[in-house]
Amino acid sequence: MSRYTSATDADVREMLATIGVASIEELFEVIPEGLRLGRALDLPPGQAEQAVYAELRDLAARNVSAEDEISFLGAGMYDHYVPAIVDAITQRSEFLTPYTPYQPEVSQGGLQVMFEFQTAISELTGLPVANASLYEGPSSVASAAYLALGVAKGRRKLVASRGLHPHSRATLETYARGFGAEVVEVGLAGGVTDAGAVVGALDDEVAAVFVQNPNFLGAVEDLEALASAAHEAGALCVASVDAPTLGVLRPPGECGVDVAVGEGQPLGNRLDFGGPSFGFFAATEEHLRRMPGRIAGETTDADGRRGFVLALQTREQHIRRERATHNICTSQALNALAGTIYLAWLGRRGIVELGELLVRRTAYARERLAGVEGVELLHDAPVAREFAVRLDAPVREVVDRVSEEGIAAGYPLARDYPEYEDGLLVAITERRSREDIDRLADALARAIAAASAPGDELFSDSENKASRTAEATR
């Protein structure tokens, strides 16, 4: 068992003597005293395994699963139904690795899955080429920025709609600093990207315009007009899209978009505490060699048999670093496999039916909630599966009250949009029935009335603190 225990005092002395150091403290002399803790860590004493298990079980019990409540939370991650076939196939041992299939002669199954995934994303987005997946939605947006800056040499500005997901905007800002580029944000008007502001922000320094469709507030954007404006200024148009809505919305490729990216979680992946997931990335053929990640291709062997290979690998491990377009390492192939199975399970007609169902139920929910006293629509723009409302009572308090009835009412917009302090974002999936929507409307009516009652307080100070802690673990 010695290989599994920590180094003994004798082991430590031997290691220090080998490297010519008198003590462990000497190893940390380069760290200024002011940055050192200067005391032992304040940790509780060790406990028996049974006691540790009991404490961890109690902590885990504070989490609330989407299976345990009626959830109208969205904001990028959605409570879709995952069919049994997804687990049945992804849990097969031959697929349970995200490692890159470097040897095609022993990796035909994995390579074919990558190829089928690329084909599905290409058909879904209406763009001719797609890669074999990226980490998640926001990093896919940022990867598109790298592509755009490489195409438009000398241009160092990126125009981003405020309707782009806050995480995507933050990731874009982080990447832009590393690229020496500037992100110019344009606001919203009537719930959608202000087209006039986009035109005003465009000049010969702009490499790309970034939009989301539907945007973070749920509104459907005019992609064709925004793409046209970008192209007139010599810039690319990048659209972050919500895959399940593409069954009813025009594919970005048909709207003139150059690069389409998105979050893959809604495609056969559960919420799982916010991840892991995958991102998808599709583009016009002229940008093929600037795309990030890997691309699987179809070929034939010496005997004429169909086979699959890694056709392009633009990672710095495989080509000269200065020519690399991404440094993605362990891929999201297992999560992308779940997405591939899900899309195959739906089929062409199924994705359309899903989109139509989302639109119908969202329209019903929007009308039902707008009829609640103290609730009004934040904007009148068309929506597909998500919409924003204003509340006449403190949003956080209303959400907490509704939560007491086993309902997650939605996402408070003030977290990311201070201008919408009274805003609540409500998401619909096929798991939310008309009865669920009616329950939400009734619960909101009660919560708003109670929160608006003079002198009424939902929680004491200590209970408020506990509520915030519970929300953080939700």
- Tell me: the pLDDT tens digits for 86-132? 999 999 988 886 566 667 666 788 889 999 999 999 999 999 999 99
How many C-alpha atoms does 418 have within 13 Å on its Cβ side? 0
Whole-Å CA distances, 246 to 120, 175, 259, 296, 382 = 12, 28, 15, 24, 15
pLDDT band at residue 465 under the 50/70/90 scheme: very low
Cβ(226)–Cβ(237) under 8 Å? yes
Percentage of the residues of the chain whose pLDDT score is greater than 90? 77
Does 173 have pLDDT greater than 80? yes
Domain layout of the chain by residue ranges: 70-80+348-473, 84-343
Are 328 and 316 within 8 A, CB to CB?
no
Average pLDDT, stretch 206-221? Answer: 98
70-80+348-473: CATH topology is Aspartate Aminotransferase, domain 1 (3.90.1150)
- What is 206-231 written as a DSSP string? EEEEEEEES-TTSBPP-HHHHHHHHH
Separation between Cα atoms, residue 176 and residue 158, nearest integer Å: 8
- Quote the percentage of the chain above a pLDDT of 70: 89
Kindly state the tokens that stand for 232. 């007139």
Least confident of 131-145, 233-247, 312-326: 312-326
DSSP 8-state symbol, 295: E
5-23 tens-digit pLDDT? 788 899 999 999 999 999 9
Asked if 377 and 366 touch (Cβ cutoff 8 Å), the reply is yes
**Which pLDDT belongs to residue 67?**
86
pLDDT at 106: 67
What's residue 297's pLDDT?
Answer: 92
Given pLDDT bands bounded at 50, 70 and 90, which one contains residue 460? very low
At residue 352, φ and ψ (nearest 5 deg) are: -70, -45
**336 vs 326 pLDDT, higher one:** 336
pTM of the model: 0.85
Average pLDDT over residues 372-393: 98
Q: How confident is residue 474, by pLDDT bands cut at 50, 70 and 90?
A: very low
pLDDT for residue 269 is more than 60: yes
Q: Which of 36-45, 78-87, 386-395, 443-452 is predicted least confidently?
A: 36-45
Closest CA to 121 of 339, 287, 298, 293: 339
At 23, phi and psi to the nearest 5? -150, 165
* Domains 70-80+348-473 and 84-343 fall in the same CATH topology: no
| Dist CA 277 CA 336 (whole Å) | 8
> Phi and psi (nearest 5°) for 69?
-150, 170
**Which of 285-294, 317-326, 419-428 has maximum average pLDDT?**
419-428
Query: Residue 348 burial by CB count (10 A; 0-12/13-18/19+): exposed, middle or buried?
Result: exposed
Facing residues of 182 across strands? 157
Could you tell me which CATH number the domain at 84-343 has? 3.40.640.10
